[in-house]
Amino acid sequence: MSILTEKIKPSATLSINTKANELNKKGINVLSYAVGEPDFDTPKHIKDAAIGKILEGKTKYTPTGGIPELKDEISKKFKTDNNIYYSADEIFVSAGAKITIYEALLSVINPGDEVIIIEPYWVSYPEIVILCSGIPKFVKTDENFEIDADEIEKNISSKTKVIIINSPSNPTGAIINEKTMKKIADIAIKHNIHIISDEIYEKITYGNFKQFSIASLPEMKERTITVNGFSKSYAMTGWRLGYVGAPKDIINEMKKVEMQTVSSIPYFIQYAGVVALQSSQDCVEEMRKKFEERRDYVVQRAKEIFSCNVPDGAFYIFPNHSKYENDSIKFSGFLLEKAKVAVVPGIAFGNSGEGHIRISYATSMENLKKGFDAIEDALKEFKK
């Protein structure tokens, strides 16, 4: 097998969900809080748009990097929501945000270059960096999952080419505030470093918290790759539709990778994206509100059992369970066995995730109540 792929770990979150599904098939009822996808169906007007285009016969190859109609809508979206002015040739569409991160990194780093990743991190970042022959460098957040920009700067070397930021964050739900974004921007400018800003959870924020796009800051658009997609905002995970805004020279490199691998994204999928962006955003707000109600509920329950931060976005909590057990793999195993609840061990999100579990509340209130009751019951008999 290849030395490169042998270094790559399977996705912990996808693997745990598969395990929970297997147990369910065997008749053992397991509630899965492991998966990172909205439980809502894709809104009907979006599905209808795609079906209409399939019936029209729009089923052929399309231009690599996105159809003009979708790039126009994305350009408007960036202007309105993020205060960034990307023209059509600064926009690139592919099969989900995940692959765009891979293509972007492949386009800007060389073997041995270092990429700074904020920890706890989304499980795919280090593996994608390794797949691109780069070296992940981890910078830990504090106990409230806040970033200290000075810590980032301390970890910069002559080989550092990229800093990956993710706000709101998977797994912690933390949002990077504007002040910290400015500090990170200053560091990127001073050391001539690219930023990959993963804004996939942008629409899922709570209270007064709003996602702030680093590329909207002076001198940042030319060094930032702004990543977004339809999976989380529009409950479109299985459609595989994501995009980036970035400088034209980076987009051109990404296009070459896409041309020789994916080729292009089906017209009907991209058209669904056009309709999602053009139509009323009420469906997005309805889902956001539901997530907020669930967030309030799970935080309250989790605080009674663990020590738990209040996340300002995304649909995860990342409670600390170390008063019961330090080892997050052991603890998740215990919850699966005794409470029949699947969660992701915190260690999957980096060493500083140890002692935590990630619980996704992208599931019904009824399932959340059931699961938390079961966790509470199981912990009564927990022996360290």
Q: Where on the chain is the footprint of ligand PLP (CB under 6 A)?
A: 36, 96-98, 122, 166, 170, 198, 200, 229, 231, 237, 242
Task: Please report how close the Cβ of residue 241 comes to ligand PLP at its closest, in angstroms.
Answer: 7
C-beta separation of 78 from 245 below 8 A: yes
Please, which residues bridge with residue 243 across strands? 93, 228
Nearer residue to ligand PLP within complex by CB, 114 or 202: 202
Q: What is the secondary structure of 116-163 as a DSSP string?
A: EEEES--THHHHHHHHTT-EEEEEE--TT----HHHHHHT--TTEEEE
Please, which residues bridge with residue 229 across strands? 242
Task: Please report how close the Cβ of residue 351 comes to ligand PLP at its closest, in angstroms.
Answer: 19
Which residue is listed with tokens 């990959």?
196
Buried b (16+ CB within 10 A) or exposed e, 312-345: bbbbbbbbbbbebbebbeebbebbbeebbbbbbb
Question: Sign of the C-alpha dihedral, residues 350, 353, 357, 361?
Answer: negative
Nearer residue to ligand PLP within complex by CB, 231 or 363: 231
Question: Sign of the C-alpha dihedral, residues 313, 77, 234, 199?
Answer: negative
Nearer residue to ligand PLP within complex by CB, 92 or 334: 92
Task: Please report how close the Cβ of residue 382 comes to ligand PLP at its closest, in angstroms.
Answer: 30
Nearer residue to ligand PLP within complex by CB, 340 or 358: 358
Task: Please report how close the Cβ of residue 337 comes to ligand PLP at its closest, in angstroms.
Answer: 26
Respond yes or no on whether the N-terminal peptide bond of residue 126 is cis (omega within 30° of 0).
no
208: exposed, middle or buried (C-beta count within 10 Å: 0-12, 13-18, 19+)? exposed
Task: Please report how close the Cβ of residue 229 comes to ligand PLP at its closest, in angstroms.
Answer: 4
Task: Please report how close the Cβ of residue 376 comes to ligand PLP at its closest, in angstroms.
Answer: 28
Q: Which residues contact 305 (CB under 8 A, 6 or more apart)?
A: 319, 372, 375, 376, 379
Give me the amino acid identity at 155.
N
Task: Please report how close the Cβ of residue 145 comes to ligand PLP at its closest, in angstroms.
Answer: 14
The terminus-to-terminus CA distance of the chain in angstroms comes to: 40
Nearer residue to ligand PLP within complex by CB, 31 or 123: 123
Nearer residue to ligand PLP within complex by CB, 36 or 353: 36
Which own/partner contact pairs does 16-22 have at CB distance under 8 Å and 24+ positions apart? 16/332, 16/342, 16/343, 16/344, 17/342, 19/336, 19/342, 20/336, 20/342
Q: Which residue is nearest to ligand PLP (CB)?
A: 96
Which residue is listed with tokens 């690599």?
64
Task: Please report how close the Cβ of residue 373 comes to ligand PLP at its closest, in angstroms.
Answer: 27
Pairing of strands 114-119, 135-140: parallel
Nearer residue to ligand PLP within complex by CB, 227 or 375: 227
Task: Please report how close the Cβ of residue 17 comes to ligand PLP at its closest, in angstroms.
Answer: 11
Nearer residue to ligand PLP within complex by CB, 17 or 231: 231
Nearer residue to ligand PLP within complex by CB, 184 or 339: 184
